Amino acid sequence: MAIPLSYNVRSVVARWTAALVAVLGIAGTVGVFVAMLSMARGFQATLAASGSPRNAIVRRAGAAAELGSVVDLDQVKVIGDALQVARTAEGAPLISGEVVVIAPFPLKSTGTDANVQVRGVSPSVLQVRPQVKIVEGRFFHSGLTELVVGSNAEKIYGGLGLGVPVAFGGQTWKVVGIFDAGGSAFDSELWCDARVLNQTYKRPENIFQSATVRLTSSAAFTDFKDALTSDPRLTVQVDRESAYYAKQSQTVTTLIRVLGFLVALVMGIGAVFGALNTMYSAVAARSREIATLRALGFGSASVVTSFVAESLFIALAGGVLGCLVVLPINGYTTGTMNWQTFSHLAFAFKVTPGLLGAGMAFALLMGLVGGLLPALRAARLPVASALREL
Amino acid sequence: MVRVDGSDVDGSLIRVRNLDKTYRRGSEEIHVLQGLNLDVGAGEFVAFMGPSGSGKTTLLNLLGGLDTPSAGSIRVGEDTVTAMSGRRLTGWRARHVGFVFQMYNLIPVLTAFQNVELPLLLTNLSRAERRRHVETALSLMGLSDRMKHYPRQLSGGQEQRVAIARAIVADPTFLLCDEPTGDLDRKSADEILGLISALVSEHGKTVLMVTHDPRAAEWANVILHLEKGALVDSPQGNAGS
């Protein structure tokens, strides 16, 4: 049987000031690690939630994002005629020809301007994207300079309250409603009539940048895509809306993750040195105890296991503390630039059980690395001389 | 039966032959033990005396398998201790040797019960059996009411009694006591020596004790002196008996 774990736990408690350095080092590292990953996860989730697998977004072939795409009205009509497009009770296709512009609005937090995506949509957009609900006020009337504002946009940008006049693009607009898009990227947007937006920015009225359609079913996507891409009247690319937004999240998500891992790695190295220092001190302070255990018949493997377990116990405490500290940021809304649209995107940190698990695993890894060398030293102590140490 | 002349005799529990231990300090070689012979029968209480640096503790460490000799052999029963690998030696110590140290060497964060239980964790005894053994050992030392006390809550004499309980709880073949009363007042020292003596006389234990205190040595059946790296009989001892 191994050296009892209570020996290590009590030894840590008895020398808690020495252990505290390692615990705090590991806690800080785990906190930053989980916070960075929860930021990436939140950003990714926000964009992933924006797309529905039952919707398809059609852009000009080769256009990576809506900003670089053109779809004219004739093409929109051809797209709407596709058999796989769902229809209203009256037989009208559920399609929204859309245009996007970037307009500056001040952030409430800093007062500095951020690029906000203003999306011109078709009147049927709420049927195309049924997850979007008007939660205050009403939807805009076609042909009027009216805006509906995403719930996050209303929270983080100044001057977008219900009924407030808003000036951009040389027009004065009126906020008539607030919509909730379920925490997706649309929540950071301002929506208005696509035709009015085109007029405001002096664009041709019959030009859009994308067309989003509601399909009869999720499974109809392949047929829809095949139908459009084989139609000689169209030169378009078709993506499932969910895939399109998921792809948009890749650049920033990867950037945040890489940064997160790098910061965590650097901090982790520091934390490992903290753990090493604590454990080497523990071994030095307890040489006689270790020698006594060896004299009693506990083997070197038992000693290694015991001290690694002690280091893991310290790491566990650090990991739990780090996770607890970072837990309150779950749901905290912040924003960053979406490099695909060059617009500001609000998103909430998402601290998931998986991330907490990853944080704990990282903590234990630091504990293992920080405990192994001191444990090996403990096992190699010369028993006879260590027995007589004071 | 205790002999130091190296002549083969039957019935030795511990048989040491031509034991050498040399330390190197820089370019200088220090011969601590040279050609030491010893035979100890079961149930003996032997005291080793000698000036500081004479090799008393070195001899005890070699007998307990905590150190390896430069030359010579040590046999305990049928086991040739000096031929064992480190791993086997560790297992052998757990089964055959009970240690009592001058500074008690109790684990400060464990209770008296848990300290005494430590050697039993290396056996296949069940938890209930371990409890029974620990309670018996502590009761033998008169510490039944101190089982849940931590070492810091005990007097020096009580700590050493816990250490003796730990040394005997797994019923080892022999006990090695290194200055067991060196850190105690006279009264406590006499109590401890009385307990060790009782282990020999009442329970048939074999005890080898290092001490520099002649009064402590008087409790032993045999007193041996370490001189020039070898053991010699004490004039007042019973070596060879």
CB A149 within 8 A of CB A130: no
For residue B219, tell me if it sits in a domain: yes
Read off the pLDDT of each residue in A187-206 and give the average, rounded to a whole number: 91
pLDDT value of position B4: 86
CA dihedral over A337, A164, A168, A48, signed as positive or negative: positive
Q: Is the pLDDT of residue A116 over 70?
A: yes
What was the pLDDT predicted at A205? Answer: 83
Taking Cα atoms as reference points, which of A111, A184, A115, A112 lies closest to residue A152?
Answer: A184
Instruction: Please name the residues in contact with B162: beta carbons below 8 A apart, sequence gap of 6 or more.
Output: B104, B106, B112, B115, B116, B138, B141, B143, B146, B151, B154
In a domain, B61, yes or no: yes
The CATH number that applies at residue B159 is 3.40.50.300
Tell me if residue B71 falls in helix, strand or coil: strand
CA–CA separation, A177 and A166 (whole Å): 13
B27 is a domain residue: no
Residues of A in contact with B114 (CB under 8 A): 4, 6
pLDDT tens, residue order, chain B (241 aa): 888 888 877 888 999 999 999 988 888 888 999 999 999 999 999 999 998 888 999 999 999 999 999 999 999 999 999 999 988 999 999 999 999 999 899 999 999 999 999 999 999 999 999 999 999 999 999 999 999 999 999 999 999 999 999 999 999 999 999 999 988 999 999 999 999 999 999 999 999 999 989 999 999 999 999 988 888 876 544 444 4
**Position A341 confidence tier, pLDDT thresholds 50, 70, 90:** low
Q: CB–CB of B108 and A14 under 8 A? A: yes
CA distance A98 to A213: 11
How far apart are the C-alpha atoms of A332 and A325, rounded to whole Å? Answer: 14
Tell me whether residue B104 is in a domain: yes
Distance of CA B123 to the CA centre of its chain: 20
Domain ranges of chain A: 5-48+250-388, 62-234
Query: pTM higher than 0.80 for the full model?
Result: no
Residue B91 C-alpha, separation from nearest chain A C-alpha, in angstroms: 6
Mean pLDDT of A190-209: 92
Judge contact between A109 and A115, C-beta under 8 A: no
What pLDDT does B152 receive? 95
Q: Which of A138, A85, A140 is nearest to A118 (CA)?
A: A140
pLDDT band at A1 (very low <50, low <70, confident <90, very high): low
In a domain, B75, yes or no: no
Q: Per the structure, how many domains does chain B have? A: 1
Report CB contact under 8 Å: B109, A11.
yes
Contacts of A263 (CB under 8 A, 6+ apart): A32, A33, A36
Residue B48 β-bridge partners: B210, B224
Amino acid B1: pLDDT: 86
What's the pLDDT score for residue A390? 61
> pLDDT at position A342, please?
65
Residue B210: inside a domain, yes or no? yes
Which of A339 and B99 is assigned the larger pLDDT? B99
- ipTM for the predicted complex comes to 0.90
Q: How far separated are the first and last CA of chain B, in Å rounded?
A: 5
Q: Which residue is it, tokens 């009970």?
A: B98
Q: How far is A382 from chain B (nearest CA, A)?
A: 9
Q: Is residue B28 part of a domain?
A: no
Q: How many CA atoms lie within 13 A of A15 on its CB side?
A: 23
The CB density around residue A78, as the number of other CB atoms within 10 Å, is 19
DSSP state of A107: B
A210: closest CA among A165, A244, A186? Answer: A244
A300 vs B contacts (CB less than 8 Å): 86, 90
Query: Chain B interface, mutation test: which of A16, A387, A389, A390, most B Cβ atoms within 10 Å?
Result: A387
Higher pLDDT, A65 or B84: B84
Q: Are A173 and A145 in contact (CB under 8 A)?
A: yes
What percentage of chain A exceeds 70 in pLDDT? 97
Q: Which 3 state secondary structure label does DSSP give B214?
A: helix
CA angle at A275 for the pair A272 and A276, rounded to the nearest 5° = 85
Domain extent, residue B46, equals: 42-66+86-233
A-B CB pairs within 8 A amount to 71
pLDDT at A114 (0 to 100): 85
The verdict on residue B24 lying in a domain is no
How far off is chain B from A282, nearest CA to CA, in Å? 13
Q: Are B16 and B174 in contact (CB under 8 A)?
A: no
End-to-end CA separation in angstroms for chain A: 28
